[in-house]
Amino acid sequence: MQVKKMVLPMSLEGLIQKWIFCQQWRLQVEWVPPYVMSHRKLRVSDLQSVGFHGRRRIHRLFALDGAPTGPWMGRAIGACARMGRITLATSLLESWIEALEPDAWTAARGRRILEVEVQRCRNVMHWQREWPRGVLHLEDQPSWMIIPMVRYFRNLKVRSDIEVLSGGHRLLPERMQWSFPESSITPKKVSIIDCSGEFEASTDYRILSAV
């Protein structure tokens, strides 16, 4: 079988691509942090090899990634992928695509990771994290937690633009700055904060203006 090298994001998007292409080639995957490093994007044509039922299940996964409610398995797949638990995420994904229950061990591990994510959102996301208005300080949180935390924040009826300052990724320890447009749960831009610890000028201005 042909060996194919791919650079994929450590996220649900990368997991889906790995699952699809592992059925066609022997893959050699280089995992990278999503948003801040270049990688192969999932294309509509990639899903042509998946049946109609499977495509519908995959589309639903993207709606469930980081969501505070919904089927536990669909949400756990995204959580595991973002954490880098690729083997566990793949096992759950295969069960999800086939609409089957995973084995007891896989289910227990997946549920536990999802519980940790949900509990972390509840414990961390409170009003003291936002200062000034529209800037969330999550520097003590890893970047893989930002999407579920922003979704949790949006669930509180906050629709305005948001700037998020987060910790790094397991593959990239530098802190990050995220820009979310109004009502969006998808970042418009993610930047690495330079080693001096200075934020981008726009965020600096907003913070200094509130002092």
Cα separation of 45 and 89, whole Å? 23
d(CA 199, CA 185): 21
Q: Taking Cα atoms as reference points, which of 93, 63, 65, 59 lies closest to residue 78?
A: 65
**Beta-bridge partners for 204:** none
Single pTM value for the model: 0.89
DSSP labels for 51-83? -HHHHHHHHHHHHHTT-SSS-HHHHHHHHHHHH
Q: What is the pLDDT of residue 200?
A: 43
Q: Which residues of the chain have pLDDT under 50?
A: 197-211
Tokens of residue 42, six digits: 């999932």
Q: What pLDDT score does 1 carry?
A: 65
| 31: β partners | 8
d(CA 57, CA 54): 5
- List, for residues 67-115, the tens digit of each pLDDT value: 999 999 999 999 999 999 999 999 999 999 999 999 999 999 999 999 9
DSSP-derived secondary structure letter, 186: S
3-state DSSP assignment of residue 34: coil
Question: Which positions ≥6 away from 147 have C-beta within 8 Å?
Answer: 65, 66, 82, 185
Computed on alpha carbons and rounded to an integer, the radius of gyration of the chain in Å comes to 18
* pLDDT in the model for residue 131: 92
Query: Residue 194's pLDDT is what?
Result: 76
